[in-house]
Structure 1
């Protein structure tokens, strides 16, 4: 949802800048993912949406649930989000933070969907070629989807490379029907 993304962006950037300044990217990543997971629990979602609870009470409860996973900066972020009635954005903030972190570290998570299982050497070759193409270190995740008939579909963020037989047949059918 674009609105959630827009609302979460300044908080994600602020958290990312705080993490960079303190040189604790991994710690911030962990605490944000912890907060995101907590905030998506059904009971916590009801707590966040409860208009009868004060912002301070909501923040305190989340901070207690997170426990030692929060440092001072993370605790302050929770308080600010509670005051601004933005606690429901925690999952989106965490997601955007991870994108910024991957950009900083020059890494990319790539999902490869293949019609057949790939050998270790094929995965290494593919990872090396994708590392060169994306100019960043690639972490491959491979899934099997026999409906592709053959070939692979590669996804990284907004980039999709469809080298599957099914995809090529769909393009051919589209061209013939035009």
Structure 2
């Protein structure tokens, strides 16, 4: 009987110890989540730790960048002074920079034309119903099938199909380039 009492006591002690361990684990998880919430309120992003070497490399890069900028400014200043020394002309670079280039004007006109075309395309909204979409797709497929049938019946294609395909591709690319211009 004494032995069974010892076993019961031992089992009770282990059960109590396991329960204490579980409560401690739960409390530790709660404390950890509270700390996480507090950290989230303080900083949204985790702080990045940088080593002394990384800091010195960053300073070095910054210093070299400043030297390059100073050297570039000095060169520009010397070039400006040399342009001013020219007896007849003087310094025309600011004037040249102020005037728009022909390429800029060309691009501006080109973009204005594209914008007009885009606005015209946007002015006609295409909201098709599902039946209309199906009908449109069916018509496209029919057109493709008809063009393939024409191609197969073509005598030139039967004689030399590679040449016909090459001509078709070159024509297609030319039209695409003309549309871009």
The TM-score, its normalising length taken from structure 2, stands at 0.18
**Larger relative contact order, structure 1 or 2 (CA cutoff 8 Å, min sep 6):** 1
Larger helix fraction of residues: 2
The TM-score, its normalising length taken from structure 1, stands at 0.18
Larger strand fraction of residues: 1
Larger Cα-atom Rg: 2
